[in-house]
Amino acid sequence: MGRLIAVVNQKGGVGKTTTVVNLAAALAEAGRRVLAVDLDPQGSLTVWSGLEPDELAKTVYHGLVGPRRVRYDESRPVRAASQGTGAHSSTTLAYLSEDEDEDVSATDLILRTSLGYDLVPSNAELGLAEMDLVNMVARERRLVALMAPVRDSYDFIFLDCEPSLGLLTINALVAADEILIPVSCDFLAWRALEVLFKLVGRVRLELNSQLRLIGILPTMFDTRTRHSREILELLYGELGRELPVLQPPVHRSVRFQEAAQTGKSVIQYAPDTPGAAAYREIAKQLESCRPVRLSSRIWQAGRLPRAQSRQGQSVPS
Ligand SMILES: Nc1ncnc2c1ncn2[C@@H]1O[C@H](COP(=O)(O)OP(=O)(O)OP(=O)(O)O)[C@@H](O)[C@H]1O
Ligand SMILES: [Mg+2]
C-alpha cells in the first residue's frame, strides 16, 4: 500500500506546492509510482502540472462531496493551460476513466501529467467544500474513503494542502500516514509552526493516532541574509533537538518560479541546479526514512522551543 504523505502548513507561500511537485517528480524519475492530490482551491499544483483548473469537469471536490455536484460540459473539452510561454503541451488530458457511474471515485479523477506523476486536480470550486462538508456524516474522513481504492496503485501519494486549518486540511491529516512540513526561512513562518503543532497534536489525539512526522523541511533559504541564516539555525538547532529537520535546506532560487511557468518540475527544467539536487536528495531520504511518532511535548503543548530574536532578546513562545 502506498505511503500517503500530507505536505502541510497553514502558513501561505512556504513552499508546499513546490515541495509536492518536485518530490513527486524526483520519485517518479526514480521509477516510483506517484500520485499528487491538489487539496487547495487555488489550484496551484494543478496549474503547475499543466492543466487549466477552470476547464476541468471533475476535480477532487466532486470526489469529496459526492456525485450530485458533477457537472459535465462536453462543449468545453479540457485543454492544457497556457501561461504566456504556452509550454504545457504534453500533459495527457484524457481522464483515465470516463465512467459516468453515480459514484465519483478517485480513479475517475486521476490525470496523467508530463511531470512523471499522476494528479487529482482541483479548482476554485473546492472552496465550496468547507460549506458542503460541514453537514456530512464523517466529514473528516471523506478523503480517507476517496483514497482507499487507489492506494495500492501507487508507492507515494502526496496531498498538497491549502494554507488554512479548515476541514480540507483536517481531512488530509486524518487520511495521511505521515506529514511533511515545509517552512520558509523567515521569522513569521517559524512562529506560525506553533499553531500547526497544536492542530496536528489534536488531530493525532482525536482522529489519527497513527500519524507520523517525516520532518520539517526548511525552504527558501537565502545565504545572503542574516535573518534567513538565523532562522535556519533555529530550525536545525532549537527545533532539530526535538524533531527531525531535513537536510539539505532548499535554497531560494528563481528557477522554481521559472519551472512553474514552463509547466515542468525543477528536476526537468534545471536538473543541475542546487534546487533540483536538494529535492532529489530529500526524495531519496523519503524512501528510507523512519517517520517519528508525534509523542513529544511539542505536539501536546503546541510550544516552540524558546527563540532568540535578532537583538538577542527572548521571543515569547
Ligand atoms: N526555494 C524557493 N526559492 C524561490 N522561490 C520559491 C521556492 N520555493 C517556492 N518558491 C516560490 O514561492 C511561491 C510560493 O511557493 P508555493 O506555492 O510552493 O508555496 P505554498 O506553501 O504552496 O503556497 P500556498 O500556501 O499559497 O499554497 C511560489 O511563487 C514559488 O514559485
Ligand atoms: Mg500551495
**pLDDT computed for residue 317 by the predictor:** 39
Peptide bond into 149 cis (omega under 30): no
Looking at the domain assignment, is residue 60 inside a domain? Answer: yes
Residue type, position 308, single letter: Q
The reply to whether 311 falls in a domain is no
**Using CA positions, which residue lies closest to atom 29 of ligand 1?**
257
Which of these, 198, 199, 161, lies nearest to 9 by C-alpha position? Answer: 161
- In angstroms, the Cα distances linking 302 to 149, 200, 237 are 34, 9, 18
Task: Output the CA 298–ligand 1 centroid distance in Å.
Answer: 26
Q: Given a cut of 90, is residue 256 above it in pLDDT?
A: yes
**168 domain residue, yes or no:** yes
Nearest listed ligand to the Cα of residue 274: 1
The answer on pLDDT for 3 being more than 70 is yes
Q: Tell me what the mean pLDDT of segment 32-53 comes to.
A: 98
Look at residue 303 in the predicted model and tell me its pLDDT. 73
Decide if 280 is inside a domain: yes
- Highest mean predicted confidence (pLDDT) among 61-65, 300-304, 312-316: 61-65
Provide DSSP, the chain.
--EEEEE--SSTTSSHHHHHHHHHHHHHHTT--EEEEEE-TT-HHHHHTTB-GGG-S--HHHHHH-GGG----TTS---B---SS-----S--S-S-----SS--HHHH-EE-TTSSEEE---GGGGGHHHHHHTSTTGGGHHHHHHGGGGGG-SEEEEEE-SS-SHHHHHHHHH-SEEEEEEESSHHHHHHHHHHHHHHHHHHHHT-TT-EEEEEEEESB-TT-HHHHHHHHHIIIIITTTS-B-SSPPBP-THHHHHHHHT--HHHHSTTSHHHHHHHHHHHHHHH--PEES-SHHHHHT-PPPEE-TTSPEEP-
- Average pLDDT over all residues of the chain: 87
Closest ligand (CA of 46): 2
Quick check: is 103 in a domain? yes
The answer to whether residues 180 and 27 touch, using CB atoms and an 8 Å cutoff, is: no
d(CA 242, CA 63) in angstroms, rounded, equals 37
Q: Give the Cα separation of 174 and 208 in Å (integer).
A: 5
Q: Is residue 314 part of a domain?
A: no
Predicted TM-score (pTM) of this structure: 0.88
pLDDT of residue 305: 72
- Examine the pLDDT at 99 and tell me if it is beyond 60: no
Domain span including residue 148: 5-305
Q: Which residue has the cell 522554481?
A: 256
Pocket lining for ligand 1, CB < 6 angstroms = 12-18, 40, 42, 44, 163, 219-220, 250, 252-253, 256-257, 260, 275
Position 67 scores a pLDDT of: 61
pLDDT of residue 278 exceeding 60: yes
Helices 16-29 and 274-288 sit at what angle, rounded to 10 degrees? 70
Query: Could you give the number of structural domains in the chain?
Result: 1
d(CA 169, CA 189): 18
- Residue 313, domain member (yes or no): no
Tens digits of per-residue pLDDT, 71-95?
Answer: 444 444 444 444 434 344 334 343 4
For residue 230, the model assigns a pLDDT of 97
Mean pLDDT, rounded, for 220-232: 97
**Stretch among 58-62, 65-69, 116-120, 308-312 having the lowest mean pLDDT:** 308-312
What would the DSSP string read from start to end of 200-231?
HHHHHHHT-TT-EEEEEEEESB-TT-HHHHHH
Measure the CA–CA gap between 228 and 27, rounded to whole angstroms: 28
Whether 25 maps to a domain, the answer reads yes
pLDDT at 102: 59
Q: Cβ distance 190 to 304 under 8 Å?
A: yes
Residue 200 has pLDDT above 90, yes or no: yes
pLDDT at 251 over 50: yes
**How far is it, in rounded angstroms, from Cα 271 to Cα 255?**
10
Distance 264 CA to ligand 1 centre (A): 15
pLDDT, tens digit, 9 for 90 and up, residues 142-168: 999 999 999 999 999 999 999 999 999
Instruction: Look at residue 273 and tell me whether its pLDDT is greater than 90.
Output: yes
Identify the band that residue 307 occupies on the pLDDT scale cut at 50, 70 and 90. Answer: low
For residue 197, give the CATH number of its domain. 3.40.50.300
C-alpha span between 48 and 56 (Å, rounded)? 15
User: Which atom of ligand 1 is least distant from the CA of 44?
Assistant: 17
What's the average model confidence in pLDDT over 186-215? 94
CA distances from residue 176 to 144, 151, 169 in whole angstroms, order as listed: 8, 11, 10
CA of 257 to the centre of ligand 2 (A): 13
